[in-house]
Structure 1
């Protein structure tokens, strides 16, 4: 099937041809016809399957020709500013022959520019829920003329605590609108939104295109079991052996991002950090250097790297196992896009092997457990790199001007020894032999012992409340008087610590403080991340709940 068979208008077909699109992807073939006809749609599609064009082309198809009066005709909600920019750019490219006016709106950008563009008039708004709701409350964004609403990466928006904002935004749009929902995973909460806000939607489930029999999958997935203390050394060794041309290393917290970036730079890599604590200009400059090739490694949190598409990216490395299997799906979606091959590598502690099994159940794909490269492996890899560099020089370089050096040495030394000395110098210039200790193989994780008769569950130092069923309650020194809502806590914790919203338990908000249940293994990580963050403009005290006997 070709795009012309989908019934798209000539202006869109010309744009697709100029962009080099030859035929629609499976999700585009399935989604575009019912959307062009005006149906609501729920699509489960992995990242990198072409879903942006699957909803953007029908939105443009349904636009009225010529300049439109009134508010936007379409609204696309996305979880992050990076994805807002990418979707906006895609809509602009597809609709350039239509003269489409598209505006990305998100936090971290001067709101004045957005106000001016909205006042002039736009056809499509692509924005994050928080900033869209901000414009609605300012009465600078009128949604009464919206004919299509798209919820892109819906599961991620819910994980970030945007559920209530999405409900408020949908309430401002016409009841007869077309509603489109795309999500990489389909938890019950997504079905609940679909039942409330979509009318008899067409449902499409589309994973990554399966490889032909006998072919390897586009994304090679593997994991290394390593103790926490040895993870930085293991990461460096894996990068040395894999030698990625461009990679993203995912970490859970900002602090971890900064530490890993410093470690990799100390090892000789060109690594840069990307996290939510950076300004938009800083993040744009980092991404520009990654795309230009001046940076080879990006160390990032999920909240910063969501929705990024870097053409030359070859590897995604999880410095630790993601807190939720769905986060793993989103992370590995950064590679293997548009038919490009890639590798997804995860560092896991012994106790996290069960989490790898949960990921395998969700993805239906096997994660191969590999042995960490030894010092011998690393030495062999560096020698191979030296051989490859020499081979390239022999095949392409003009070597004749160095013959005078060879001839002068050949009078005194054997030619073979001269060659070996040259190889030695090249090898040492590239880093030389490895002088590292072996990384010990971790022992298996100890089994958890349940308190039995005559045994008491121990309490933590400082009279902290004992954990119950692996859950710990955290105290936040901010409450109802500061206007705090449950989604504020969920969004802040999920965004700053990397913990999935699904793992956040019961929330109790009083006038002056709040209590939040989190998994015991993640408690210290959450506390560390939140102590450097703000909630509703404040930086509250965050600690374990005190327990008085």
Structure 2
């Protein structure tokens, strides 16, 4: 296997990985593999007549080849021999097929091996470590479990801590799993109360985990497993020292699992120090040959989950596809979305593995004949479909892997025909779009959701096109008497306008008065340019500047020694505010401590942080002006290296 951050195209053959950030994402039944049609039974052999020659002895059936390698594509969660309680939970959630990282990681982790896994965001790695944790925990009855956690999962951000905690809770409900996320910004007393009551699994950001360890509220003597999720991002955010301190505080005999999207040298160094004879899993991805990329217009729309159905309906109204496939994650989502689209006047058909072959054939027949214009399907059910009339592919959610995206959009834009690929992305999925762009080396244009005015203009254009076609055909003599009669009383232009309005309304182009505008979420732009390397680092080699701190040029300016010339804007023009933190070199504060505290306690990332200046008794840190108050409030509520400190805007 080669070093690659993206899973193989096999991911396209699976439903969305078991990453369940919200209940809305998990209340549906994912798609099992579509069953092949069962061939007709052969006719029964006629009874032999007395004169018939004796039948030849049947040839012996050869023994199965012991060296034959099973096809991993057919692996199900049942094949991974998970506990019945876990299978019950997975069945209730509707999941059957593991993703590649789950298929390869779960058996060795259950067996107790340390593991070093490379997996991109969205490939299902949460289940790859959560299910083994719960499988082993299930060997102990709930009332016999200790008060202190058996597993600790470290993640870089509070959002991921919540997401992973919710996923583990859902999978572990039949086992009565006690799961607690701990992160900065949440009241410490609430976390202390739950810790004191007893937990099985802790999901934590490094800074807050270390705070609890130092105060003695998080005890690790019963710890069996430590998971480092998104390890490269934790190192980028300045958590290296915190991770070392936490790992040093864990029992020597613990099992360690490390997942990272990339494998830089510092990840290898961390693994060599803390992992014992690990299994290494690096999913190789298939690269698209040059010139074979689909020739399609690729657009994305950022929209909240709640507004997705309305946004999709609006987009389809404007695009007016001849035939389109809308890809969904689960069969329940397919059925619900099909009903919604039909309610909006579209001709949609559902296709998923819960249908018989006869039903599937009828659906495909209606799509190919033009009776239906939309096919709402899961990846598994849409395998092998080749529809000549297809003009659009819609990803109702961002695909889990770049190869799944390429495979989907490859169904349009063939043989020189124009195709369109549309992706609906929630704000949190914006980074996944950027990953797909980097892998495919193709631009995905982020567009605004069509407005009511856009929809009205598109409907008028459809009416104009229909009238133009009638005029070209020049078969209008039957209506001449109507026009001649009306022009005796009205102006010819008024007659024409009335006819156009009548045709427009008849084509379904009436004013959409009952619709509201769909909110368009804003996305924080990607930062680039000098000093925008790894978060909080400056210069082309990512080294800390000895004078100007981090992220700036490092040259002293008129603002004072080591201050970046009184800078009030980042290199990309964003306004910045300098905040005062009452801890400095005498308190053993390093730039990494400040970056880790800010990113751990607030919602901004290391890339957002500007120059850092550390003096003997205080530090100055630049943060984006719109986020300054939120950062100050978050730092006041938390601690830096386990201590409360003064935080405010710098006074000039």
Q: Which TM-score band applies after superposition, normalised by the shorter structure? A: 0.5 to 0.7
User: Could you tell me which residue of structure 2 aligns to residue 538 of structure 1?
Assistant: 646
Structure 1 residue 210: Cα displacement? 7.9
Which position in structure 2 is the counterpart of 1:169? 246
Alignment of 1:212-231 (within 5 A): none
What does 1:44-443 correspond to in 2, within 5 Å?
A: 44-63=118-137, 64-66=139-141, 67-206=144-283, 335-337=398-400, 343=423, 363-368=438-443, 382-384=456-458, 416-419=499-502, 422=505, 426-427=510-511
Relative distance call for 1:427 and 1:502 in structure 2 (3 A) is: closer
Aligned counterpart in structure 1 of residue 102 of structure 2, from 25, 28, 32: 28
**Post-superposition offset of 1:427:** 4.5
Deviation of 1:86 (Å): 2.0
**Counterpart in 2 of 1:4?**
78
Partner of 1:254: none
Whose radius of gyration is greater, 1 or 2? 2
Question: Aligned residue pairs: how many?
Answer: 379
Question: Separation in 2 of the partners of 1:93 and 1:476?
Answer: 40
Counterpart of 2:590 in structure 1 is: 485
- Aligned-pair CA distance for 1:60: 1.2
Cα deviation code 1:156-208 (max 9, x no counterpart): 22233322222221122111111111122233332222122111221212377
SS in 2 for 1:87: helix
8 Å Cα contact 1:159/1:494 also seen in 2? no
Separation in structure 1 between the aligned mates of residue 179 and residue 286 of structure 2, nearest angstrom: 31
| C-alpha distance in structure 2 between counterparts of 1:198 and 1:139, whole Å | 25
The one-character-per-residue Cα deviations of 1:97-134 (angstroms, maximum 9, x if unpaired) are: 22222222223333333323222222111122222222
Aligned residues of 1:75 and 1:125 also touching (Cα < 8 A): yes
Give 5+ residue unaligned stretches, structure 2.
1-74, 312-339, 341-375, 377-394, 409-421, 426-430, 464-485, 516-528, 530-554, 640-644
Change (3 A) 1:421 1:51: closer
Rounded Cα–Cα distance in structure 1 between residues aligned with 2:259 and 2:96: 24
SS in 1 for 2:440: coil
Aligned-pair distance for 1:143? Answer: 0.5
Q: Which residue of 2 aligns with 1:17?
A: 91
Change (3 A) 1:75 1:381: same
- RMSD (Å), alpha carbons: 5.3
TM-score by length of 2: 0.47
Whole-Å Cα distance in 2 between the matches of residues 16 and 149 of structure 1?
A: 23
2:101 maps to 1:38? no
CA 1:502–1:113 in structure 2 vs 1: closer, same or farther (change >3 Å)?
Answer: closer
TM-score by length of 1: 0.55
- Cα offset for 1:462? 7.2
**Does the CA contact (< 8 Å) of 2:179 and 2:203 recur in 1?**
yes
- State the Cα distance separating 1:145 from its structure 2 match: 0.9
The equivalent residue for 2:40 is none
CA offset at residue 465 of structure 1?
Answer: 5.4
